[in-house]
Chains A and B, each alone.
Chain A
Amino acid sequence: MISFPVYFRVRQLGPDGTPTGPARTLKCDDPGTFTVGKSDDADVQLDGAAVSRIHLSLVLAARSVAVRDEESTNGTFVNGNRVAEVALEAGDRITIPGWELEFAPVEAEAQPGTAAPQAPPAIVLSRIVEGAGAPPPGPVSQLAAIFGSAPEIGLETIRASGHPVEEVRFLSVGGGLGSFVWIDHLRCYGIPAGQVATIGTETVPYRTYQRYCKNSQIPDHERLRSNSLSRPDNIWGFPGYAMREVGKRGFFKGIFQVFGEPTLAESYTPRAGDVFESLDVEARRIGWQQMFRQGQARGLRKTTDGRYVVAYQPRGEGAGGDRLRFIVADVVHLSTGYPATRFVDDFQNFVAQHPERRGLVANAYEEHDAMYAAIEQTRDPVYVVVRGRGIVASRVIQRLSEARKKNPNLQILHSIRSRLGPRDGAVYKRAKRLVRNNVEIQPFNWPKSCWGGDLRFEYERASEERRGVILNTLGGTSTAERSDWVEIAERGAEEGWYRVVYGSISELDPIEGQADRVRILIRTPEGHNEELFAHFLIDCTGLIADIRRSPFLADLLDTYNLPRNHAWSKQGEKRGPTGLKVSNDFEIEGLRNNRGRVYAAGTITTGGPYLAVDSFLGLQYSALRSVDHLVTERLHAVPDLTPFRSLGGWLKWMGGSTP
């Protein structure tokens, strides 16, 4: 339940993305929908060339607070990631060009002694949307009226609503990499583009992924943590990215790396930019633009004729305002990705209670380039605490070591929970994970055989509880072995600018009278306290995906009472819910409708039949499973990909001709 009033702290952002000037408070006394934009009609007016007339809406309900992008030209971002509609949590930062709105359910205490002058009075907003004088109903309430409360809906009802209706055989909701890979399989299996559609908010399928990469300091020229043969643009995985790169960096190095990895050489990984380029080529080949419908999916219902209807609100060119559109399909695929980023609790609390210090702390997956810019602009001593020991921490430390070239007085304090000796790596049966410099080493985010080896079989066959225990043992934080990362840690420790601090962060507070630092108290494993005063804290402990934060999925879960997977402790105790429960073929069985089928893929299936769902190769695996499932069930005329048809498809891929 949300207790009203709720507050949003509104700040103007400078060109480098850092807040300028004092914060104003937006106070919302009652539930309702408030628009934000530069138009006079907006409830909250924010100026700026890049702000749309009605840029976004804040949707405040008794049970949740959400932000919805209103087809703005330049987008709405939550914690650095572009969103269409997402439920908010305390401390979430909504950014639009030039402005930041931060969701703070409680009013921040006045900070005595801070440099900021007395904050100007709050803008009070309260509006009752129901009743006379209410604005025309938005698409969401329109949809609720059309769908009604029945779990199945007749096509005539949809048609009678007067909204455009389109019929296809296959529909993927998400429009990101998961949708791309699934549709790529359908097309290579021989399904014509005219029978397929996909709904997504981004015109480019890898845009969201690319944004996560950029934020976590993987620009296009850096390498991903992915295998040569994991090509989301090629269902056969051959030839791999290493072959592609052979021409560019000398024949022998590329060949030797794939041949020798991981024993004789470091594992080969492709450059982000090369992956995106190859996806562009495949998108053109399979006719992505023809199948793509830009918009935000609003809801899914079974139809009375054994199909499904998905409602979406169009965006982009020719969107046509508020009008909803419907797509009726026999087979639906859901791959909506991370609904929004959620932070670990202490971090979340800090940003909620001390919004004026928000610029001093960042999660590695949100945009935080302003921190590096600030470090590089000065030659004064700067202390940065990096928390976490995963691959993102490795990358952030690499980025900081680059910043050191401009500011030699930068000090990196690496906060990791406990010492990890060379023999303390995770153990699974007879094997043990390697540990180096307190970090567990693994080329990819799961042991390799989870993708297609004995661990995949073992995990798939296991009971729900056993799966949970395996997930816990094989998962966990690890990084890749890269000589440059090892060198940074070793050289930094020797020269005194990199230091590891063991222990868990027990307190995270502002410092009175010092607006540019935070106090971090670390409780060491020996029971001592170590106090750090840091200019910046970069939290690299990862993202938490809560599928209920997507209004589309939450509605689906509630309407059809769909079961979810659960996390388990290593001891086998049941923990909180995770992904949507799917069969081994990635079908959401609760949505089966006569000959209609719904499949899911990606992070929304976490805790299900496959460990590496959130990887390029994992997306290909789930796509293969679900498309093969249609073949074996003889549904909707999906032809089998037999060895010689497969060869034919591959030759077309090689030649660049349409499948």
Chain B
Amino acid sequence: MTPTLAGRIQTRILLFIVLGLPITLIYALAVNDFIWFWPRMEVFFRFIATVFLIGLILDPVYIFLQTLRWDRDWPFAYQFFFSIVEFGIALALAANGLIPWLDSFDFDDGPEIWTAIWHFTVVFIPMFLALLGPLSVFFIRWRFKAAQFGKI
């Protein structure tokens, strides 16, 4: 991938809306035995939004790293690795009570942390796979437009 900052942000937002939010909804329902009870589902949305925000904050850093590479690209392995880093940061901050809209109790060791890890995994894998090519099926100009949408 050879995204620009605008491309990273646009793609991140799109994937968050079309994959992140719907999958989170299904996951939240599944964890609550498919009973709609918003107070117990809300935390999943707050958490996935936190990971999304941390990604947005890190995007300029990634762009800087790209400029150090001769090909100015972002290999899939980097994308994979740094997505996990973003999750790790979100988890560490939440567990230490540093995210005001997340209760550190929800990210304690034990079953809570596994709920978060599984949540991240089911959201992250489809997002990563979408970047490997399926996004181009809908947006053929995306790969030539540095991961931005619209006409070239």
Contacts and interface: CB of A to CB of B under 8 A. Distances in A.
Interface of A: 229, 235-240, 258-264, 425, 428-434, 442-443, 447-449, 451-457, 621, 624-625, 628, 632, 641, 643-644, 646-647, 650
B73 interface: yes
Interface size class of B (residues with CB under 8 A): 20 to 34
Contact of B2 (A239, A258, A449): A449
A120 B132 CA distance: 66
B144 A650 contact: no
A263 B81 CA distance: 12
6 contacts: A431-B69, A447-B73, A452-B146, A454-B2, A628-B151, A643-B139
A263 B134 CA distance: 23
B137 A259 contact: no
B140 to A, nearest CB: 6
Given A239-B133, A643-B138, A452 B67 contact: no
A454 B146 contact: yes
B104 to A, nearest CB: 35
Nearest to B73: A448
B75 A261 contact: yes
A560 B9 CA distance: 45
Nearest to A188: B140
A425 B69 CA distance: 13
B96 interface: no
Nearest to B151: A628
Nearest to B128: A259
A624 B141 contact: yes
Given A428-B70, A456-B144, A647 B80 contact: no
A259 B76 contact: yes
Name which of A434, A457, A644 has the most chain B CB atoms within 10 A of its CB. Answer: A457
Interface string B48-74: 000000000000000000111111110
Contacts of B68: 430-431
A262 B141 contact: no
B7 to A, nearest CB: 9
Given A235-B140, A429-B67, A453 B133 contact: no
B12 interface: no
A238 B134 contact: yes
Contact of B72 (A264, A443, A455): A455
Given A260-B77, A457-B4, A624 B144 contact: yes
9 A-B pairs with least C-beta separation: A453-B2, A238-B133, A449-B72, A448-B71, A452-B144, A449-B2, A643-B138, A448-B73, A431-B70
A646 B138 contact: yes
Contacts of B67: 429-431
B80 A447 contact: no
A434 B3 contact: no
A259 B80 contact: yes
A263 B2 CA distance: 15
A229 B80 CA distance: 18
Contacts of B152: 624-625, 628
Contact of A433 (B70, B137, B140, B145): B70
A343 to B, nearest CB: 30
A457 B80 CA distance: 26
Contacts of B134: 238
Nearest to B142: A452
Nearest to A644: B138
B144 A259 contact: no
A262 to B, nearest CB: 6
B146 A448 contact: no
B136 interface: yes
B139 A646 contact: yes
A235 B136 CA distance: 9
B143 interface: yes
Given A237-B133, A628-B151, A442 B140 contact: no
A262 B138 contact: no
